[in-house]
Structure 1
Amino acid sequence: MKQLFTCLFICICLSLQAQLKSPADFLPSYGKQVTYHYQVENYFSYLVQNSGYIQHKPYGQTNEERGLNAYYISTPENLKDIENIRQNNLYNIGMGPKPAVAIDKAIVWLSFNVHGNEPAGTESAMNVAYELINPANTATKEWLQNTIVILDPCVNPDGFSHYGNWLRSISGKEPHTGTTDREHMEPWPGGRENHYAYDLNRDWAWQVQTETQQRMALYNEWMPMVHVDVHEMGFNEPYFFPPPAEPMHDYITPAQKDFYSVIGEMTAKKFDANGWSYFTREVYDLFYPSYGDTYPSFNGAVGMTYEQGGIGAGRAVQMRNGTTLTLQDRINHHTTAVLTAVETASWQKDKLVKNFRAYFKDSRENPKGTYRTYIVKNNGKTEELAKLLTRNKIQYAFADETKKLSGYHYQSDKDKDFVLEPNDLIISINQPKALLTQVLFEPQQHLSDSLSYDITAWALPHAYGIDSYALKKEISVKTKTEVTYKGKFEYDRVYAYYIPWNGRASAKILAQLHKNKIKVRSARKAALYRGIKVSPGDLVVLKGDNSQLTEFKQAMTVLLESKRDYEVIESGFAINGSDLGGESYPLLEEPKVLLVAGKDVNSTDFGQAWFYMDEIIDYPVSIVDLQNFAGVKLADFNTLLIPDGWYSLSEPEKVRIDTFITNGGKVIAMGGALNLFDDRPGYSLTKYATDAARNTAKDKEEAEELNARYYNYESFLRRGISSVVTGAIIENTIDTTHPLNYGLGNTYFSLKISDARYQLLKGAVNTAYIPAGYKSFGFIGSSLKKTFANTVTFAVEQKGQGQIIYMVDNPLFRGFWENGNLLFSNALFLVN
């Protein structure tokens, strides 16, 4: 009888498993309409409740309070041992303790919908999960015997919801396959990016955004061997899967390249059998380190991008070849490709495990780069760099002694002697993340092909603007785990508070002081007080300026709690330099900020400015769409931020901005916004210093067009890149006496991502310009490179009682250019 009940129980369980619903059975419009995000979560909850092959792992929340979720998929036996499997993987690459039981499995991470308006990713994620755990699919059950699948169905829930909610709201009963219908015309800013209009697919290494920070914490707890990043591209394109295109970074290993070839062959067979079009080895390279394919690759995995045509397709669209591409087609293609990746990883399990461990062993014992140790001098920005290293699980320490050393100096681009001092940051490549460390710190990256998809230089010492050195050997010095601060100077009375201006923490403190209506002064010249050396830009809060605070000392102690290097000044009398009551300490005006948004504005550049205001400095900003700009009372503001864009303002709107500046307003114009002022009466901004220079440029352009008549078809693209820069680091000479440059150092290295160039301005302050014979890192087209010399990067022009700050380059680019964050803080707060 007991055996009978056992058999019946097993039969009931099998019956329930066999009845597991597919997405098409569970969701009423699956494959015909984009699924609401809550429905996606409901479906995965249903799978978890009805199958022993899947476990839920929530890992965070978005800015709009949507859940971030991953799902572990494998056999019930493997899921029972999931923690031992995870620990065993980390232990064998030197990143964790020894597990209780050593269990080797292939670990495959699948990421869907990092771009919200590429919905076939999340739609196919549901189908992939179903097929992996579907009781009727015996093949996937075999794969899962030796494989752990970590599936993230929606990396960007906010963007996915923005797009899906919009498409749902404008959809008629039947899909419109013609491209003139509004379902193929997504409005600004679109759902591609997250809440702050950041492209999360460019954020893997920098981890600026909360979604990335939370996801990468889980990623580093697992360190998968294979990572599949599922995307969509323009709807007329065939499917892309690996092998990737050149340039491939030199640090991509032969073992990784072998897997790309295997996966390409396996996937091609499946697509051939279905008659589906595809391509490999074109467009999608492996160079810039912050993508969903490159970042995993620099962490030992086989990182892969999968691209399905679909952006702008809505529910269905007619392609150039006359066929109709449906949402269901896109789901089918992704499902087949992604399942093939899991199948290949399972089949190659032993080789994957072996190669993955060898990757970490070889990167430590036989490092690829030139340098073995990186030293970053201590200043206010070093703390932010240490946070970035921590997020990436890159090990570091701080010097606890003084020592004379010699090494490559990033800022001068040559070898120099220097002194290692206590609190300097030391990063050795003798650690598990050796190769990633080298990728992020090597001064120059080798390009095998100039046709790169993204920026080609990113060395962190230049991004953070900190004096740094690279050494070809390891060093032996006494170290400590954190920066230590000298004790505060003893004082009998409080005359003022001194706050160094040395990084984003200073800007955030200043923002809080302004929000609390506390008056602040900024030093314009160096001075010395008892034990305190004041540099230009440093902040001073005088008790005498803030008589409204009955408990001045108590209020300031609370506000400055997070800024450990502040000091109390007892007397305003300077030992050397100006007294605190002198003209070298002007009061700072409280910014009242208006940020322009809307369809003519570059959404990502707008998002970077918005994120800076909201999250980096936590300061209020009003945002207005351009269509409503005419109705805004500009007199209520004193600062106008105009991000990069393609502006077509009417003359009366331009005159309103002119009047705003003349009456004492400050405009910060970035990138394409400079076209609003280029060659306009009353402004000095111009691309050509003289009419003769303009005519010479025109003659040269006409001569090149004449020569182009003899080019063959194939050479056009290659010749075109001689006038292109996709992202290179360029040396700038800066005016260190100007408030726009306080705290930046003696030289500013800017990230140049466009060919825009303007002559040095007449009658204005050229605060940063590219000198003749400038140093650069990364690719710049040969004909373009020489034209950058003696062109302006940042400038400040006085107009009436106000001023305009011209930013040819975007200092807030992707949020990771930390010296750019400080420069923007200077523009907002210190340029009065």
Structure 2
Amino acid sequence: MRLLLFITTVMATLVSFSSVAKPLSYYFADDVEFDPAIPTPQQVLGYEVGQWHVRPDQLVQYMQLLAQKSDRINFEVIGRTHEQRPLVMLTITAPDKLENIEKIRSAHLARLTDKVAKSEDDSAVVWMGYSVHGNESSGSNAALLVAYYLAAAQGDEIQTLLNNTVILLDPSLNPDGLARFANWANSNRGMNLSTDPKTREHIESWPSSRTNHYLFDLNRDWLLLQHPESRARIAKFHQWKPNILTDFHEMGPSSSFFFQPGIATRKHPITPDENVDLTKAIATYHAKTLDANNALYFTEESFDDFYYGKGSTYPDVNGGVGILFEQASSRGHSQETINGLLTFPFTIKNQLLTSLSTFKAAVDNREALLDYQARFYNQAIELANDDNFEGYIVENNGDNTRINDFLALLKQHQINAFATTKMLKVNGESYAKNSFYVPLAQKQYRLVKAIFSEQKNFIDNTFYDVSGWTLAHAFNLQFAKVTSDWGLKTEKTPWEKAKSTSIKTLGNSYAFAFPWDDYLAPKMLNSLLQKGIKARVALKALTATTPSGEIDFAAGSIIVAAGLQDKNNWVTLLNNAQNEFGIAITPITTGLTSQGADLGSRTMAVVKAPKVLLIGGSGVSQYEVGEVWYYLDRFVGVAPSIVEISRLDSLDLDNYSHIVLTHGNFDRITDKMKVAIKNWVREGGVIWGHKGGAKFLADQQLLKANYLSRRDLASAFETKDLHYGDKDHLAGRQRIAGAIFNTDVDLTHPLTYSIKRDTLPVFKNSTWLLQASQAPFVNVLTYTNKPLLAGFSDKVNVDQIAGEAELIAHSYGRGSVIAMTDNPVFRGYWYGTSRLLSNALFFGHTFRANGD
């Protein structure tokens, strides 16, 4: 009897694969006619949409063919991913308009100036973006059907749509992630489908394919632009400035379908209320369509429109309306849920239906959308003139890479900055000539304010994502509001990235030196070390004799002495390096210095190319592993060995100079490996841990420090007399969704070399906290007494954080243990704190401090 019951249960979880293959008639209404000359997805791919998960190469193949067969479509490659997959864009409109598409685009942008009146022929621009998360693939699969509809549908409705809109269709915002997931889902299903939520097909291994190549969430990169996918997309965005941008996602299998508006109180205060009104108007079209198909959905009770770095929110600060869609995910081909059997074709159909309802909304609300966008930009200068300050001044701190990358980021968002031509004093601080002024009075007035915002309290202090992202803080650039333009002198033309110039060629000399200030100095040093150059780091400041006279070199400067080199072409390598990285190397004519240590001093510590073990695997944050990997790879030139916890016991730790532990749970590390790690550090290894990694180090007593857990900080909140209805509000107060805090810096410590100011902004998105050590010389960074700089954090949390430790470092045997409360490389754009990690790689062995 039990065997029969078991067999019956197993059979109930199996669905014939052919039973979920749906023809076009499943997706489209019976009254939609199609041009038979336009190939269907099935005719090209060999299977019905939803029968398999489409791969990016198949998407591209089909989109190219549609463009060849249809006079309504232009096909364009706008960029390439890290893995060199094409990022494609279809431009779709009526054939006669497509022939004059540049004229139409220019006219659309011209409406955003006061000088051009609207025309009855103006088109609404609708950007359709699918599956920014690779394992939320119903969107990209629906894009097959959306593109087919736009190419092949016949009748009055499609003609009205094409005559009144320009549709920009991005079928896969994350091709690298989509490729990984398609391979996973397709390779783990059988001829008969298992609907068991626990089967392998529905549960990916670490890391998931939600992310791009470097394990980043691309839906958080629209503002930060760290990746080629985002940079290509933003360039295209500003070529058109769409009126509507859609962002198709998936959520948990046991949910239903969400479309915006989200929670009304959780929009960014800079977003105009009219944006919300238009979002609500568009929502009625989605509701009508889903009602007609008996599909469950919800609005206004989840998600937010606050962080401008998301696809559905970036348009809101650029005169458009962003719309988020979230479909319950089958996470494969078919899965049992609380709502019954959820099939992949069903998820695709909902994404198609709301794509079509978006088109209907765009046509019916065309004039309202165009008028809103024109007002959004045409009122910018007037709003700026009414504001209580003129703009922002940003220091040029001498780090050419960091300031240029910051300015380039602004430029990609159509924000102008102007170099100052004389010193300016603001709030008692002096900003030297060649600092940069960002005026409010420009078309991107609202985005300028959002990027520099230090707001700390909001109508609703609960956040789905970060509450603060001040870019100047992330780049550790001093900035201030300019309340008066009196005494302000700037260049007439805005900043443009200068062409690289050749640096003076080096000849033979006693030694050479270069400062550690530039953001690419670690990468240049590593490149030289990899090529066999032998180098030292000056642990104390010195003044050396050069052909140009006496020059001061700060602690952290890199010294390359002729007497240490054993390669004949070593000067040539130095010349090549300074031109490649744009960092000038200075000849030194004698080892005798006029001030500070001589070049043969013991304070000239050996530096070696790091060999980094980066621990990942189940339980470890794929995002933070990816962020460390990305930083080391792109900005330091180091290829870390990424090894899952389950494989650690097979390693010989002597092959590595450094171990990096990001956020995660490391309890799965075996006792044998824990002992091996301790012995490895004791013998001279350098181990770094942040967040969960730092907790592991403390729990293993490698790190001599105490910490406060999330529960410890939460216990400080008063809960007496609270009602059940207060639960969510309390959770919002206890959480730090993502805010910017300030720290005091020990500028004498080797881990802070290149940092000039005695305070350093850090990004904090957890309530785990290292406590300051009572031992001397080990608290490298501590939170200031009033640490909150930007974003929301409840006063109870802020008071507990004040004065505690951000970065602790001490010796352990002959090795070093370095721990940080927060993630120094958050989302790839925290240029300021990321230098702490590269300093640990090159200088982590140079300090001695007892943590007891």
TM normalised by structure 1 equals 0.90
Question: Partner amino acid for 1:128?
Answer: V
1:238-387 matches, cutoff 5 A? 238-245=256-263, 246-310=265-329, 313-321=331-339, 323-367=340-384, 371-378=389-396, 379-380=398-399, 381-387=402-408
Equivalent residue for 2:211, pick from 183, 186, 193: 193
User: In structure 2, the residue corresponding to 1:365 is in which secondary structure?
Assistant: helix
Tell me by how many angstroms 1:285 deviates: 0.9
Query: Bigger shift: 583-592 or 334-343?
Result: 583-592
User: In structure 1, the residue corresponding to 2:816 is in which secondary structure?
Assistant: strand
Confirm whether residue 579 of structure 1 aligns to residue 598 of structure 2.
Answer: yes
User: In structure 1, the residue corresponding to 2:796 is in which secondary structure?
Assistant: helix
1:366-515 matches, cutoff 5 A? 366-367=383-384, 371-378=389-396, 379-380=398-399, 381-399=402-420, 401-406=421-426, 416-444=427-455, 446-474=457-485, 476-479=488-491, 481=495, 494-515=509-530
Which residue matches 2:824?
811
Which residue matches 2:635?
616
Equivalent residue for 1:61, pick from 80, 103, 111: 80
Confirm whether residue 129 of structure 1 aligns to residue 147 of structure 2.
Answer: yes
User: In structure 1, the residue corresponding to 2:513 is in which secondary structure?
Assistant: strand
CA distance in 2, matches of 1:788, 1:39: 51
1:89-238 matches, cutoff 5 A? 89-93=108-112, 104-238=122-256
CA contact (8 A) 1:765 1:797 kept: yes
User: In structure 2, the residue corresponding to 1:190 is in which secondary structure?
Assistant: coil
In structure 2, relative to structure 1, the CA distance for the partners of 1:531 and 1:287 (3 Å cut) is farther
In structure 2, relative to structure 1, the CA distance for the partners of 1:250 and 1:426 (3 Å cut) is same
Question: Partner amino acid for 1:156?
Answer: N
CA contact (8 A) 2:610 2:638 kept: no
CA distance in 2, matches of 1:292, 1:462: 23
Tell me by how many angstroms 1:795 deviates: 1.0
CA contact (8 A) 1:75 1:145 kept: yes
User: In structure 2, the residue corresponding to 1:587 is in which secondary structure?
Assistant: strand
Alignment deviations for residues 454-503 of structure 1 (CA, whole Å, 9 cap, x no partner): 11111122111122222124464142646999998999862333322224
Question: Partner amino acid for 2:677?
Answer: I
In structure 2, relative to structure 1, the CA distance for the partners of 1:787 and 1:154 (3 Å cut) is same
Tell me by how many angstroms 1:262 deviates: 0.5
Query: Bigger shift: 564-573 or 787-796?
Result: 564-573
Query: Bigger shift: 366-375 or 156-165?
Result: 366-375
Which residue matches 1:758?
770
CA distance in 2, matches of 1:436, 1:590: 41
CA contact (8 A) 1:402 1:421 kept: yes
Alignment deviations for residues 293-320 of structure 1 (CA, whole Å, 9 cap, x no partner): 221211211112111111x632122221
Confirm whether residue 662 of structure 1 aligns to residue 682 of structure 2.
Answer: yes
Tell me by how many angstroms 1:102 deviates: 11
Q: Equivalent pairs: percent with the same residue?
A: 28
Equivalent residue for 2:695, pick from 648, 671, 675: 675
In structure 2, relative to structure 1, the CA distance for the partners of 1:369 and 1:805 (3 Å cut) is farther
Question: Partner amino acid for 1:320?
Answer: I
Equivalent residue for 1:730, pick from 735, 741, 754: 741
In structure 2, relative to structure 1, the CA distance for the partners of 1:702 and 1:747 (3 Å cut) is closer
Tell me by how many angstroms 1:800 deviates: 0.5
Which residue matches 1:4?
none
CA distance in 2, matches of 1:574, 1:702: 57
Which residue matches 2:780?
767
Which residue matches 1:605?
624
Question: Partner amino acid for 1:293?
Answer: S
Alignment deviations for residues 127-154 of structure 1 (CA, whole Å, 9 cap, x no partner): 1122223233531221110200000000
Tell me by how many angstroms 1:737 deviates: 0.8
CA contact (8 A) 2:461 2:733 kept: no
User: In structure 1, the residue corresponding to 2:615 is in which secondary structure?
Assistant: strand
Tell me by how many angstroms 1:392 deviates: 2.1
Which residue matches 2:758?
746
CA distance in 2, matches of 1:41, 1:202: 25
CA contact (8 A) 1:671 1:807 kept: yes
CA distance in 1, matches of 2:274, 2:703: 57
Which residue matches 1:411?
none
CA distance in 1, matches of 2:144, 2:743: 50
Query: Bigger shift: 499-508 or 258-267?
Result: 499-508
Tell me by how many angstroms 1:369 deviates: 6.2
Count of matched residue positions in the alignment of Structure 1 and Structure 2: 793
User: In structure 2, the residue corresponding to 1:641 is in which secondary structure?
Assistant: strand
Which ranges in structure 1 are unaligned for 5 or more consecutive residues?
1-14, 407-415, 689-693
Tell me by how many angstroms 1:671 deviates: 1.6
Which residue matches 1:653?
673
TM normalised by structure 2 equals 0.88
CA distance in 2, matches of 1:703, 1:56: 58
In structure 2, relative to structure 1, the CA distance for the partners of 1:570 and 1:361 (3 Å cut) is farther
Tell me by how many angstroms 1:550 deviates: 2.4
Question: Partner amino acid for 1:396?
Answer: A
CA distance in 1, matches of 2:78, 2:497: 30
User: In structure 2, the residue corresponding to 1:283 is in which secondary structure?
Assistant: coil
CA contact (8 A) 2:532 2:567 kept: no
User: In structure 1, the residue corresponding to 2:614 is in which secondary structure?
Assistant: strand
Alignment deviations for residues 255-284 of structure 1 (CA, whole Å, 9 cap, x no partner): 312211101122112222222111112222
Question: Partner amino acid for 2:142?
Answer: S
Question: Partner amino acid for 1:309?
Answer: A
In structure 2, relative to structure 1, the CA distance for the partners of 1:419 and 1:785 (3 Å cut) is closer
Question: Partner amino acid for 1:794?
Answer: L
CA distance in 2, matches of 1:740, 1:66: 38
Which ranges in structure 2 are unaligned for 5 or more consecutive residues?
1-32, 846-852
Tell me by how many angstroms 1:24 deviates: 4.8
Which residue matches 2:799?
786
Tell me by how many angstroms 1:445 deviates: 5.7
CA contact (8 A) 2:267 2:306 kept: yes
Alignment deviations for residues 41-97 of structure 1 (CA, whole Å, 9 cap, x no partner): 2221221122111110111221222111010111101111111111222334369x9
Question: Partner amino acid for 1:327?
Answer: F
In structure 2, relative to structure 1, the CA distance for the partners of 1:604 and 1:701 (3 Å cut) is closer
In structure 2, relative to structure 1, the CA distance for the partners of 1:569 and 1:392 (3 Å cut) is farther
Measured on the aligned residues, the alpha-carbon RMSD in Å equals 2.7
1:22-33 matches, cutoff 5 A? 22-24=40-42, 26-27=44-45, 28-33=47-52
Tell me by how many angstroms 1:767 deviates: 0.7
CA contact (8 A) 1:729 1:776 kept: yes
In structure 2, relative to structure 1, the CA distance for the partners of 1:295 and 1:731 (3 Å cut) is same
CA distance in 2, matches of 1:486, 1:168: 51
In structure 2, relative to structure 1, the CA distance for the partners of 1:51 and 1:594 (3 Å cut) is same
Which residue matches 1:77?
96
User: In structure 2, the residue corresponding to 1:771 is in which secondary structure?
Assistant: strand
Tell me by how many angstroms 1:194 deviates: 0.6
Confirm whether residue 795 of structure 1 aligns to residue 808 of structure 2.
Answer: yes
CA distance in 2, matches of 1:460, 1:531: 37
User: In structure 1, the residue corresponding to 2:411 is in which secondary structure?
Assistant: helix
Which residue matches 1:554?
572
Alignment deviations for residues 155-183 of structure 1 (CA, whole Å, 9 cap, x no partner): 10110110110111110112222212222
CA distance in 2, matches of 1:492, 1:801: 39
